[in-house]
A = this chain, B = another copy of it.
């Protein structure tokens, strides 16, 4: 399955054939269809496993920290560190969002993850730590920021994940102005 992930990420889902996967693994085609119903089901399984693994990493990173803002920061950092370590999975998740057949399955998982962030934002807002806004929008904004920065700076440019994560957290917390104009 790890091999399939690499091929899918490298060449794209459609251009990668089942024949290519099995011959690259040195096994017959029957083995593939013994363990998976179809190529599509394999992809969905990869997606599900990736989302489960990412979520576990996020929760581990957050631990039992009491500060909601700190929890958001830890979640962001965990996401970026996971994406750095699972570059191929990250690419696949991005692709899945663009294909109707996979977008549905993806959204369910993403909404669960965002719901966690929303929870922390609401808590921080209640404590007056955060400006008054739609928690749903800022949660998605942070997720989008982290994903895009990971892609551009960590994957494309190979910059160190912790440096990019620092900048990402700073941007998410303080924005562009960061109070410099007040």
Contacts and interface: CB of A to CB of B under 8 A. Distances in A.
Interface string A117-146: 000010010001111011001101111110
Interface in A133-178: 133-134, 137-138, 140-145, 147-149, 151-153, 156, 164, 167-168, 170-178
Count of this chain's copies in the oligomeric assembly: 2
Interface residues of A, number: 56
A130 B180 contact: yes
A57 interface: no
A32 interface: no
Given A130-B178, A131-B174, A134-B167, A12 B141 contact: no
B141 A145 contact: yes
Nearest to A103: B156
A107 to B, nearest CB: 8
B144 A148 contact: yes
A91 interface: yes
B137 A153 contact: yes
A14 interface: yes
A90 B114 CA distance: 22
Interface stretch (A22-30, A77-85, A94-102): A94-102
Given A133-B170, A175-B176, 19 more contacts: A12-B101, A94-B98, A95-B95, A95-B99, A107-B156, A130-B176, A130-B177, A130-B180, A130-B181, A131-B178, A140-B148, A141-B148, A142-B176, A144-B145, A144-B147, A144-B152, A145-B148, A171-B175, A174-B174
